[in-house]
Amino acid sequence: MREVAIIGVGMTKFGELWEQSIRDMFAEAGLKAMENAKVEKIDALYVGAMSSGLYAYQEHLGSLMVDYLGQIGVPAVRVESACASGGQAVRMGYLDVASGMHEIVLVGGVEKMWDVDDGTFVLATAADQEYEVYNGVTFPGLYAMMARAYMERYGLTREELAQVPIKNHKHAVNNPNAQYPFEIDLKQVLNSSMVADPLRLLDCSPITDGAACLILCPLDRVKEFTDKFVKIIGVGAASGPIALHDHKDLTRIEAVNLAAERAYKMAGVGPDDIDFVEVHDCFSIAEILVAEELGFFEYGTAGKAIAEGQATYGGKIVINPSGGLKAKGHPVGATGVAQLVEAYYQLTFQAGKRQVPNARLGMTQNMGGSGGSCVVHILEGM
Amino acid sequence: MANSQRYTREIPHRYRLEAQKFTSGFVSLPHRYCDPISGKKEYEKITLSGTGKILSYTIIHVSSDQFKLLTPYAVAIIETDEGARVTAMITDTKFDDLKIGARVEFVFRKIMEEGPSGIINYGYKAKVIS
Amino acid sequence: MVGIVGYGAYVPIYRIKSSTIANQWGGDPVSIEKGLMLIEKTVPGPDEDTITIAIAAAKNALKRARIAPQKIGAVYIGSESHPYAVKPSGTVLIDALGIGPDVHVADFEFACKAGSEAMFVAYSHVKSGEMEYAMGIGADTSQGAPSDALEYSASAGGSAFIFGRENVVAEVLYTHSYTTDTADFWRREYQMYPRHGGRFTGEPAYFKHILGCGRALLEKSGLKPDDFKYAVFHMPNGRFPLKAGKELGFKQEQMNEGWIVNIMGNTYSGSSITGLTAILDVAKPGDKIFMVSFGSGAGSDGFVFQVTEKILEVQNLAPKTREMLNTPQKVYLDYGKYVAYRKKIHFNEY
């Protein structure tokens, strides 16, 4: 397998994009990425989207997107893995280039979430329809149950849990593409409306429209296009049970641990080598659980560590310099790709006021459902 | 939401708690061809007794449309006495009585209606027993 | 010997007081309680209906009968609030209890006596030798129109009876039915609430049929009211059954145990038969029980039961009726919650 680099990125602003349809957003992000990479033709396309069928009544995104990018004829397919659709699309594109099958591959993710009224129903399709959702559980409800189990076992307090969204909002102030580029405080978090006890509105990532794209290229050809590139040195993916109730331990997301192990092994690095990580904070508790699974903190300690400032600039590692899913926004299928867009900006020192100093190795972690799937990428700046 | 086709085939599990105990020890309420961990196919048919304990729970305030009229309601992940893991809505229980470790029993209740003209869906819910 | 081999009842945990309803509509709580002799009634939870109630009662009956569900040859549910207009309630019950598929199922309807007639038909199958066991159930989540008198009494609950020849706990000695076309209370298709003829529901309807049936049953059996330990009649309110009982010659003490309407309300198809379960919960071997139901339209089914020694083996095998009615778990609703649970208000349709 040959080495693969990212030579360009593009994304829309994340937010309530009433004027743009699903194809509009992807075209904007895709054309931006191609321009950024200085490519006019791509050889293949992978588009990640969780539920374009239920959100936009549109399947067959591979065909739709090559059409709207002016690249008709190239092989194109939609990749789906619930909220990990974007990360999995990147992985598919990576395999395509690494195998030698294709040269310049566009991978992107998109979700058009504001076109439906009952978004809770669509998001719940990431869970077990017959044995979880049928019995009334919602997506926030699943993470709420993990939060309750974790809080009872490790003594994490409600105030400590709130520090996760507070920190992520602080990071997003410096992100021009973020949905909510403003700070929030403890009082706001604790007074926000209850979604699924103990998770309140400000513990939950928002409903967001948006798209993000990358251009992948074999490492030995990057000089033809740009001198701003980033190398993908580790890729790990894993799966977990579809239903949360089949997790042996409700405070563990084994798929994240497995995926990270595989990525670290491939890259030949460990948690202490990573300068920043974009994690999948679909809910505040998720960031805590994931940080532990990725090896940055001992089990049971990440909550307190994050509350003490270990996950922000000057701490042990910067988690979610972009603002994470909470403050940057979470257009489901686009998120996994947007995480790599952020990693690219950080590793090529284009992250402006949110630049992680001396960023050399970055990590992205994207997961689907309550841990039914997970993809981890490790990237190196050149 | 489930139309008649999707609904009818789940009846033995939802109505009568018919389950499988695989030779690996894994107990499954929904029908499976093999156990998810070892992939083994041998099992015996069992019926769950309908009692268990709460592993975790939450109170849902924002639900999808079909459960809107019930909010706020509690759901829990339950481990039955046979070792099956089940997610169920809690009914006829005060929120104050919900605890990790509380004993529950399953009762047969209406889950939802598919609108004013669709079929009525039934299944199991759990209530805390003292 | 043919009779009841297993019986069971179920009432929901929710209640509403007559005074709450009276205060809503500007009625006088004291005179309602005194006049109708009703204190509170049962209300079905938002996830309960006639089917879930029937299943809960039937599970209790099976616990007492201690037979394999597969042995039951017929299941009849009588109700005036079957959840579907077309699709039986009984089919959900048999699949939930693991009865059948080699079983006969039919849903019954006859206002408040749909339960007793289900029992009559189930009993008849066993008596004729056609089947080893058959089950008759009466269950309802009856609706009363807002601010109508019936709103004080229309309640939810039900009972199930398995008939057989082995291990009979209460033998059926005699039955009698008495029926005429009397439109005292009715509901047309597509109407949400029933209508009734006011005082016409009394003398010419309730009393005519209960007394007509009761007298014929006493004559048929050759027994006198004093021969009975217990008597129970259909309970549309607190007053009517006591009056009817006295007219037939029964005393207050004979009627007390089965008279549960003051704390349960009128569970329509579950009314007299749930009163019967309350009696069976405390009856002793040798006791004779006199039961006459009433359904508007109109008709009455009468039964004479004699309790056997086997009753002592089964009383404690399932929850007792008065225990369920007086449970410390019961939850009192205010009027707003009550109309929301009973879907008396328009909701958006999704």
Specify the pLDDT at position A120: 87
A58-86 tens-digit pLDDT: 999 999 999 999 999 999 999 999 999 99
What are the structure tokens assigned to C245, written together? 């009982």
Closest residue by Cα to residue B48 from B128, B129, B130, B124: B124
Average pLDDT score over residue span B32-42:
92
Whole-model pTM: value is 0.93
Q: Answer whether A351's CB lies under 8 Å from A176's CB.
A: no
C25-58 tens-digit pLDDT: 999 999 989 988 999 999 999 999 999 999 999 9
Chain C residues close to B92, C-beta within 8 Å:
13, 45, 329
Q: Does B15 touch chain C (CB under 8 A)?
A: yes
**C-alpha–C-alpha distance, residues C152 and C167, integer Å:** 40
What are the structure tokens assigned to C110, written together? 């006859």
The answer to whether the Cβ–Cβ distance between B111 and C47 falls below 8 Å is yes
Closest residue by Cα to residue A15 from A176, A202, A194, A184: A176
Q: Does A239 touch chain B (CB under 8 A)?
A: no
Shortest CA distance from A150: residue in chain B: B56
ipTM score: 0.94
Chain A residues close to B2, C-beta within 8 Å:
130, 134
Interface test mutation site (partner A, options B60, B78, B107, B110, max chain A beta carbons within 10 A): B60
Task: Evaluate if residue B2 carries a pLDDT over 70.
Answer: no
Q: Which amino acid belongs to residue C121? A: V
Q: Does C84 touch chain B (CB under 8 A)?
A: yes
Candidate from A121, A196, A246 with C-beta closest to B60: A196
Closest residue by Cα to residue C65 from C160, C148, C158, C154: C160
| C317-345 as b/e: b if 16+ CB within 10 A | ebbbbbebbeeeebeebeeeebbebbeee
Chain B residues close to A151, C-beta within 8 Å:
none
Parallel, antiparallel or unpaired: strands A105-112 and C104-108: unpaired
| A297-333 as b/e: b if 16+ CB within 10 A | beeebbbbbbbeebbbeeebbbbbbbbbbbbbbbbbb
**C-alpha–C-alpha distance, residues A119 and A195, integer Å:** 14
| Window 21-80 of C, Cβ < 8 Å to B | 45-49, 51-52, 55-56
Specify the pLDDT at position C262: 95
In C69-207, alpha helices (H) = 90-97, 114-127
**C-alpha–C-alpha distance, residues A364 and A260, integer Å:** 10
What are the structure tokens assigned to A135, written together? 């019995």
Q: Answer whether B71's CB lies under 8 Å from B60's CB.
A: yes
The answer to whether the Cβ–Cβ distance between B62 and A196 falls below 8 Å is yes
C182-193 tens-digit pLDDT: 999 999 999 988
The answer to whether the Cβ–Cβ distance between A245 and B75 falls below 8 Å is no
The HSE-up count of residue A182 (CA atoms within 13 Å, CB side) is 5
Distances (CA, A) of C188 to B49, B88, C344: 43, 38, 17
Q: Does A6 touch chain B (CB under 8 A)?
A: no
For chain C, the average pLDDT equals: 96
C346 part of the active site: no
Specify the pLDDT at position C350: 66
3-state secondary structure (DSSP) of residue A31? helix
Specify the pLDDT at position C185: 94
Counts of helices then strands in chain B (DSSP H, E): 2, 8
H or E element, residue C332: strand C331-332
What are the structure tokens assigned to C315, written together? 């009383």
Shortest CA distance from A251: residue in chain B: B56
**C-alpha–C-alpha distance, residues A98 and A112, integer Å:** 31
C234 part of the active site: yes
Q: Answer whether C107's CB lies under 8 Å from C119's CB.
A: no
The tens place of each residue's pLDDT in chain A, 382 residues long, gives 999 999 999 999 999 999 999 999 999 999 999 999 999 999 999 999 999 999 999 999 999 999 999 999 999 999 999 999 999 999 999 999 999 999 999 999 999 999 988 888 899 899 999 999 999 999 999 999 999 999 999 999 999 999 999 999 999 999 999 999 999 999 999 999 999 999 999 999 999 999 999 999 999 999 999 999 999 999 999 999 999 999 999 999 999 999 999 999 999 999 999 999 999 999 999 999 999 999 999 999 999 999 999 999 999 999 999 999 999 999 999 999 999 999 999 999 999 999 999 999 999 999 999 999 999 999 999 8
Q: In Å, how far is A258's CA from the nearest CA of chain B?
A: 15
Parallel, antiparallel or unpaired: strands C104-108 and C72-78: parallel
Q: Answer whether C59's CB lies under 8 Å from C317's CB.
A: no
Counts of helices then strands in chain C (DSSP H, E): 13, 14
The residue count of chain A comes to 382
Distances (CA, A) of A138 to A364, B100, C87, C88: 26, 19, 31, 32
What are the structure tokens assigned to C232, written together? 């129970």
Task: Evaluate if residue B110 carries a pLDDT over 80.
Answer: yes
Task: Evaluate if residue B1 carries a pLDDT over 60.
Answer: no
Specify the pLDDT at position C338: 96
C207-246 tens-digit pLDDT: 999 999 999 999 999 999 999 999 999 999 999 999 999 9
Specify the pLDDT at position B4: 87
Question: pLDDT band at residue B116, thresholds of 50, 70 and 90?
Answer: confident
**C-alpha–C-alpha distance, residues C275 and C80, integer Å:** 18
Task: Give the torsion sign (CA, A323, A328, A334, A338).
Answer: negative
Task: Evaluate if residue B3 carries a pLDDT over 90.
Answer: no
Q: In Å, how far is B91's CA from the nearest CA of chain C?
A: 8
Specify the pLDDT at position C349: 73
Specify the pLDDT at position C254: 98
Averaged pLDDT in 10-residue chunks for chain C of 350 residues: 98 97 94 91 97 98 98 98 96 97 97 97 98 98 90 96 98 98 94 89 96 98 98 96 98 97 96 98 98 97 98 98 97 96 83
- Taking only Cα atoms into account, the Rg of chain C, rounded to an integer number of angstroms, comes to 19
Task: Evaluate if residue B34 carries a pLDDT over 70.
Answer: yes
Residue numbers of A annotated as active site: 83, 330
Q: Answer whether A262's CB lies under 8 Å from A237's CB.
A: yes
N-term to C-term CA, chain A:
20
Q: In Å, how far is B113's CA from the nearest CA of chain A?
A: 12
What are the structure tokens assigned to A356, written together? 């992680």
